[in-house]
Chain A
Amino acid sequence: MSNKVAIIAANGGLFDAYKVFNIATAAAASEKEVEIFFTFEGLNLIHKQGMHALDMPAGKEHFAEGFAKAQVPTVPQLVEMAQELGVKFVACQMTMDVMGLTKEDFVDGIEVGGAVTFLEYAKDAAPTLTF
């Protein structure tokens, strides 16, 4: 049985952040090795400024109240927690080049890599998830 979980984060909205980090932190807290590959809009989720102001999907803004009521942690809190639990963040080099971003634009402790880096990690991971 594989003890590795591989996640691709390819979208950058608030809901996407919760989908990615909830699964990642839950897996890490259950003794799994976890790596997230952030590509395209997914880079928002670990962008130093961007992660503080992720958008709700259009027309779903009313869920803000539900988030507050359910005492859900904020995205930056989840990012910190994931890193504390040993979740590895890999930012996609190609997307960063396209968007004119550097490693310094992101939270500390990330790695930068390409598609092959992720594929090599994910080849014996189960499950591999895409958000």
Chain B
Amino acid sequence: MNITQTLDAKGLACPMPIVRTKKAIDTINSGEVLEVLVTDKGALNDFTAWAKAGGHTILEQKEEAGVLYFYIQKA
């Protein structure tokens, strides 16, 4: 997977991870992949819903040492 940009949103509380992700995805091109790191547990459901709203695809998500990783391909 080719990662175009990484956003570190660790430690941020709702709604900041989503707001920062929205701003980051606006800076990449369609088809490119944004990697997002978050620790907010609410993000697990929020990112799925957010991606659906914008038509983006979550290619992969994983959790490592309390950090959630999302790989989002821009619509």
Contact = CB atoms under 8 A, between A and B. Distances in A.
Contact of B50 (A30, A72, A73, A85): A30
A29 B21 contact: yes
B16 A73 contact: yes
Nearest to B49: A30
B53 to A, nearest CB: 4
B28 interface: no
The A contact surface, by secondary structure, is loop
B11 A71 contact: yes
A81 interface: yes
Contacts, number: 35
A81 B19 contact: yes
* Interface size bracket, A side: 10 to 19
Given A29-B22, A29-B50, A30-B54, A22 B12 contact: no
6 contacts: A29-B18, A29-B19, A32-B53, A72-B13, A73-B13, A85-B19
Interface of B: 11-16, 18-19, 21-22, 46, 49-50, 53-54
